[in-house]
Chains A and B, each alone.
Chain A
Amino acid sequence: MAVRIVADSTSDLPPAVVEELGITIVPANVVIDDVNYRDGVDLTPDDFYSRLVSGTALPTTSQPSVGAFQTAYQELLDQGHELVSIHVSGKLSGTVNSATQARASLGEDPPIEIIDSQAASIAVALVAIEAAELARQSMSREEIAERVRGTLSRTFAAFAVDTLEYLQKGGRIGKAQAFVGSLLSVKPILTLMDGEVHPLERPRNHQRAMRRLVELVSEKAPASRLGVIYSTEQEWAAELCDSLSDLLPREQIVTARFGPALGTYVGPRAVGVAIVSEG
């Protein structure tokens, strides 16, 4: 009997990592032009971004259904596993609700630990990876949950967008409203705080935005985990990995891609970085 890790698709965990660590992903739902897709199952990132750029209405993402969680949990429980289920911030999404309802439907106190990460995307991915590695070391469900909660407090992520247009259109601009409307070209750097988008800085071009992302993460070193993420420009992610290789060996840096959940708001040509500082 082992502990298995469950996450949802908005964590943007790279498929190769999911496979290697045996993480179970429950897909969110993406609706584009009234058609429902399961994120990462019947909608690829390339499809998504081409439709985001060309489409008139913004895609919408909704949490996985209770049923999807039930199915996933049941299957793993049937195999005799205990579960740690790590999800996007409850302030951004109802995912934790769905998971909690599914858990409640599976009898008296099933061995499932549900964790609200209070984060999103690559930051959740880094934490889920840590959980999966701890599970491989045969750590107990309770111990993993406790470690993960500690890790969450040492996690920081920031992303640079090409334009604030998508955040604004999607109604998620939040406090980054303060950065809207400059006549100067800027590449705003944002972060998530308390489930809301917060403005950090306004570098004047892409090169400087990349440099600042690296600096922001370096300020939090030493790093126990690092991740980079992109929406459409893979080589920018590679550049960030090169720049961050002073902090961690390059092969340990996780490269992920913004899925539809965040991709809808950050838009094309966005990049981000995430760090878990050493405890």
Chain B
Amino acid sequence: MTALSGDSLAAALTAGFHCLQRYRDPLNALNVYPVPDGDTGTNMLLTMRAGVEKLSQLNGATAGEVAAQVADGAFWEARGNSGVILSQFFKGIALGLDGKEVCAGEDLAQAFRSATDAAYRSVGNPVEGTMLTVIRWVAEALEAAVEANSGNGAGDLLALWETGYSASKAALEATPTMLPKLREAGVVDAGGMGIVVILGGALLHLTGGDAATADLGLATAAGQIDPSQLASISVESDFLDSSVESEWGYCTQFLIQGENLDIEKVRSDLAATSESLVIVGDDRFIRVHVHMQDPGVALTYAVSLGELDQIKIDNMSLQNQDWASGHQERGAPKDGITLVAVAPGEGLAQLFRDTAGASIVSGGQTMNPSVAQLINAAEESGGQDVILLPNNKNVSITAVQAAERENESQNLHVVETSTVPQGIAAALAFNSQAETGQNLQAMREAVEAVVSIEVTRSVRDTVLEGKAVNEGDYMGLVEGGLAVVETSAEAALMAALDGVGLEEDHIVTIYWGADTDQATVEGVSENLEAQIPGIQVDLVFGGQPHYPYFAAVE
């Protein structure tokens, strides 16, 4: 074979996707940070799925068209660092194959070169030992092979693909030698493995194998992670449901107004027959978002509880068909300046809404929202100028990608908040009556003025930044770096605060999580006030998962 037709390229990429699906859990488990954020596999999978889905509608397309469709789909669903880099990778591939009827050897090499450039450009500060390295090594190997072959016509495409795949494996094995964090944890890079898996799955398909049952023989963790731990690291199940099954039936949303509503009962009743159930509210109002094959069932049930309002039903399979163009067409007149905040808990969402009238995208460390979700929320917020607050390092890159998209109806800006406390400080500095430039400046200054603390539980034994961490230990992170390791969440919080060096004119705001109880946090507050007379301690319910405490010192 000397070239891939559009259809074979599509089939190869789809096989790569199926292989990625098979390897999702091991990829998630490879995430080296011991905080519960095993989501690299999920992020890459969701990003690529959106691209591959567009292929089912193509038949007899050129290689260039196939690549362009994958890139377009992946752009919208890109989430997390690995997903954004992957979407840029596909964009580069598409650029390299632009206008090509088929993909010959030199086209493949050129596509990977262009993909390498795009991937490196997508991150502010490229780091070697990551998926970037893997992509680059593949490009270099392909270029060398094409060069060596230049006298003998185009050469065999299968052999070339194999060369690329081998290079990707070699690069993957080298990642721990380049990145100390990987070496400490004794793993290879998860995103890099994702690239290997996609290439491997495609190769398997091209040689007549079945990618969906592939065993690529990859050492997932250099033998240093106990495979039994893999199951303990999981992504929010709610979030996966809502993402993975999103084209299932009808998206049904409504508000129930009644008296003495039992939200837990509504939740369990609806959960039995639906997917992606999201319910918020109290005993008088319950807002329901649910995916059902028959929306009538949910409405009949709900009307038995009280009055229904704000009913909205969308057919998701129709909706999905031309999703991207739908985004571009929706253009209600925009006015003023609005805020979109990513919030990992109901309390925090409420706080962002109350403080700055923000539109909320739920998500955070373990639930990275996609570019499309951010752009959607920006649309719905109705502002001519929209400021995005990602409030997490892993979401920041997605927000930047969303803002860089050309958009005629809105100007998107990002204040790159990497923690929730930074986000709240920025939201407090937001003034819908002031100009955008003034707002951006004031918000960035506010972010600078706050020290962020996050307390979370380690999901594995590891060594991090020179500190031994046992599974179940509580880690206190100051400005994103591991500062203290303790056996209780409160001890970790106090030790982290102590390390910041509290003074009497400081304000400490503690956002307590979903699994923390109020009495405990009040105890912490009393302790602090006793230790440092004159200090102001404010307690706010955040409701975030996995993090018993976020705290801001300013």
Contacts and interface: CB of A to CB of B under 8 A. Distances in A.
A28 B432 CA distance: 34
Given A184-B351, A207-B505, A202 B357 contact: no
Interface string B495-514: 00000000001010100000
A262 interface: no
Contact of B428 (A181, A200, A204, A207): A204
Given A183-B540, A198-B433, A199-B431, A204 B507 contact: yes
Contacts of A185: 538
Q: Which of A184, A201, A204 has the most CB of B within 10 A?
A: A184
Interface in B423-437: 424, 428-429, 431-433
A248 B357 CA distance: 40
Interface of B is mostly: mixed
Nearest to A176: B433
B9 to A, nearest CB: 52
Contacts of A208: 507
B505 A184 contact: no
Contacts of B259: none
Interface string A191-210: 00000001111101101100
Interface in B520-554: 536, 538, 540, 554
B461 interface: no
A183 B350 contact: yes
Contacts of B351: 182-184
Interface string A225-249: 0000000000000000000000000
Contacts of B540: 183-184
Contacts of B554: 204
A207 to B, nearest CB: 6
Nearest to A205: B536
B354 interface: yes
A147 to B, nearest CB: 32
Contacts of B274: none
A67 to B, nearest CB: 39
A184 B429 CA distance: 13
B354 A202 contact: no
A175 B433 contact: yes
Q: Which of A175, A182, A198 has the most CB of B within 10 A?
A: A182
A178 interface: yes
A202 B536 CA distance: 16
A182 B433 contact: no
B538 A199 contact: no
B355 A201 contact: no
A97 to B, nearest CB: 28
Contacts of A200: 431
Contacts of B432: 178
The 3 A-B pairs with the shortest beta carbon distances in the complex, nearest first, are: A181-B354, A178-B432, A182-B355
Interface of B: 350-351, 354-355, 357, 424, 428-429, 431-433, 442, 505, 507, 509, 536, 538, 540, 554
Given A182-B351, A185-B538, A186-B428, 13 more contacts: A178-B357, A178-B431, A181-B354, A182-B355, A184-B355, A184-B428, A184-B509, A184-B538, A199-B433, A202-B429, A204-B507, A205-B536, A207-B505
6 contacts: A178-B433, A181-B355, A183-B350, A183-B540, A184-B428, A199-B431
